[in-house]
């Protein structure tokens, strides 16, 4: 059984900020991590391997050379080998161009190594984009059945059974192999790397795939040229005025002051208040 986990290296969004002048992400000095949802996908693969140590887990990422750090982290946790899709020709790819490039890379790996991936696992979405498009698009391009929003999974009678999150709660979906599954956050945390695996990951070879290793790829569908969507700008809404706090416990005229402030800012039109005979 071969399982491929697609993962992305992303900036830690708890530390990221927006440049107030350029309105772009400030990445300098920001820690890069494995996309958390991809970490859940890797944990799902690891749990399958716990039931059968003969299972083989590969990890695949697309990005600059520094994405090797995320792949080595995955190797130190549970993966057996790793591939990095990296080339300047892939720069600026949107989700459609990214999923096309990754699907072509998967085909190239299977052909060159004479293997077939029985399962492809992805995170539900990347926290730096939140589109939730790449996993389903890879499934479409590889003509694979797909199950989204997985929480846990198991193998039964040559099928994968996935407990998935839905708007109504949870449901179990079964699919034949090969299959692609995207994962969201379950009720448990992913495992940590061990010291032994971390040492081995530092020495592990990471196979690189550039444009030359994907000879059948259509160059009109990659990079900026192959991206029908582009980010025009990123910005944080500005707070123009300070917050005013009013409390009836401290100020009996708080309601009147609130109404006056709303009228002054043209949020509401001027209102007249009357006192009922009961004084209410």
- Position 17 scores a pLDDT of 67
Show the beta-strand stretches assigned E in 113-249. Answer: 119-123, 146-156, 159-166, 169-176, 179-183, 206-209
65: DSSP letter: G
Q: How does residue 129 score in pLDDT terms, banded at 50, 70 and 90?
A: confident
Pairwise CA distance, residues 204 & 78, whole Å: 13
Give the CATH class of 2-221: alpha beta
Sign for the pseudo-dihedral over CA of 214, 216, 219, 223: negative
Stretch 97-102: mean pLDDT: 98
> pLDDT of 165-210, one tens digit each?
998 899 999 999 999 999 999 999 999 999 999 999 999 999 999 9
- Position 252 scores a pLDDT of 84
- Position 260 scores a pLDDT of 85
pTM for this predicted structure = 0.81
> pLDDT of 41-97, one tens digit each?
999 999 999 999 999 999 999 999 999 999 999 999 999 999 999 999 999 999 999
Tally the residues of the chain.
280
- Position 263 scores a pLDDT of 85
- For residue 268, is pLDDT > 90? no
CA distances from 87 to 19, 64, 102, 221 (A): 28, 7, 12, 14
> pLDDT of 219-261, one tens digit each?
999 999 999 997 777 666 666 666 778 887 888 888 888 888 8
Smallest Cα–Cα separation from 127: which of 8, 224, 31, 228?
8
**Could you state, in order of their start, the residue ranges of all structural domains in the chain?**
2-221
The token pair at 149 is 């929003």
- Position 232 scores a pLDDT of 76
**Contact indicator for 122, 103 with CB cutoff of 8 Å:** no
CA dihedral 66, 71, 205, 192 (to 10 degrees): 130
- Position 247 scores a pLDDT of 83
CA dihedral 44, 148, 36, 88 (to 10 degrees): 110
């Amino acid at each position: 059984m071969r399982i491929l986990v697609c993962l992305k290296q992303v900036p830690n969004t708890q530390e990221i900020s927006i440049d107030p002048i350029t309105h772009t992400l400030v990445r300098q000095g920001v820690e890069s991590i494995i996309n958390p949802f991809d970490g859940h996908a890797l944990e799902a693969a690891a749990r399958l391997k716990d039931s059968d140590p003969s299972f083989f887990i590969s990890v695949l990422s697309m990005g600059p050379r520094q994405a090797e750090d995320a792949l080595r982290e995955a190797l130190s946790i549970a993966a057996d080998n790793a591939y990095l899709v990296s080339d300047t020709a892939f720069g600026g790819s949107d989700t459609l161009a990214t999923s096309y490039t990754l699907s072509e890379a998967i085909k190239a790996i299977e052909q060159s190594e004479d293997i077939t991936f029985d399962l492809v696992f992805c995170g539900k979405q990347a926290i730096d984009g939140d589109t939730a498009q790449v996993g389903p698009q890879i499934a479409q391009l590889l003509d694979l059945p797909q199950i989204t929003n997985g929480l846990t999974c198991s193998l039964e009678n040559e099928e994968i059974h996935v407990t998935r999150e839905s708007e109504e709660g949870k449901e179990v979906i079964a699919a034949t192999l090969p299959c692609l599954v995207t994962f969201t956050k379950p009720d448990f945390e992913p495992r940590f790397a061990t010291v032994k695996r971390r040492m081995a990951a530092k020495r592990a070879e990471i196979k690189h795939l550039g444009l030359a290793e994907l000879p059948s790829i259509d160059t009109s569908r990659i990079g900026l040229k192959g991206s029908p969507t582009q980010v025009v700008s990123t910005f944080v809404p500005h707070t123009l005025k300070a917050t005013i706090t009013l409390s009836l416990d401290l100020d009996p005229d708080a309601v009147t002051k609130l109404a006056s402030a709303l009228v002054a800012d043209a949020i509401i039109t001027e209102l007249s208040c009357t006192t009922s005979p009961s004084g209410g």
